[in-house]
Amino acid sequence: MSRPEKVTGDATMVKRLVWHLETVLFILLSYSFAMVPCRVALSLGSQLGRLAFRLMKRRRKIAIDNIEASLPFLQAQDGWNPDCGTPEELARRTFENLGRSLVEDFRLYHGRGREIIDAVQFRGLEHYERALARNKGVAFITGHCGNWELMALSFGARIHGLSVVARRQDNGYLNNVLEKIRSRYGNKVIYKSGALRAMIAEFRANRIVGMLIDQAVVPSEGVLVDFLGRSSWTTKLPTIISRKTAVPLIPILIHREGGGHVITLYPEMHPDAEKDGDDGARADMAILSGVIEDYIVRHPDEWYWIHKRWKRAPGS
């Protein structure tokens, strides 16, 4: 064996070992949180989030910078609470929410989250029922809001199974674990590579597919849309599919309320018939993104501030 081949083989072996360790740690950590009472687990989840806020300096800075840059837009909106606190306080509460959500997902993975699912309230189901009756399938449009994994699992468990579009993890072993979580209660996973054909097949069978639209995409896959007062690259896949197949687009979001969660389904969004191409996609995605903006105004510590939403956009 030549030396380059040996080096490559050694690197692959080390990578697989690291992946195995990551997966084992995930299973052990998730099992530990799943075995304690739910109330205790959620408290520990908040503490886990606060610990991450202190230790994950890069992500903490991204969150604080994102909030600071978005504040002028947020403060100008009806429904904004001026007592939300400083960007640092909002960022800390964001990490706490993510910690609680992670613990809830741990419990769901180990089959101990039924009480969480049963406590979820649904508002606006009539919009979904009306759309499904058209026999074109339904596209659920959502974002990284609240516990979005719980939202999909709750809908699958309580209302109707659906497919979720997700990115395949580099760690194949961990990906298998996450797929097991996402496939509980009758749900399925569609991976982004080659997703279009699979999604269209689901819609033709009058099934439901959930899509997240609030992460940056490469320019070739999106359009520039104002989001929280700044230009951002946003996927145009939902509007492209809707214009080709007439599938209804239903925004759906989840937030914490009291000791549980509320899933809200919004009226169907219709593509702008007077515009086509990127102009039409931009108009459609601006409306869908606006639903998520309104959510953030009302629940600012439940959105995923820790990612670079505005990367590659002009002025970023």
Query: What residue ranges do the domains of the chain occupy?
Result: 3-302
**What are the C-alpha distances in Å from 34 to residues 45, 152, 153, 155, 202?**
11, 19, 17, 21, 33
Identify the segments of the chain with pLDDT beneath 70. Answer: 1-11, 173
**What are the C-alpha distances in Å from 32 to residues 107, 142, 150, 195?**
9, 30, 19, 35
Residue 7 has a pLDDT of: 42
**Measured distance CA(5)–CA(194) in Å, rounded:** 31
Residue 1 has a pLDDT of: 46
Model confidence pLDDT, tens digit, residues 69-93? 999 999 999 999 999 999 999 999 9
**pTM for this entry:** 0.91
Residue 25 has a pLDDT of: 84
**Measured distance CA(308)–CA(185) in Å, rounded:** 32
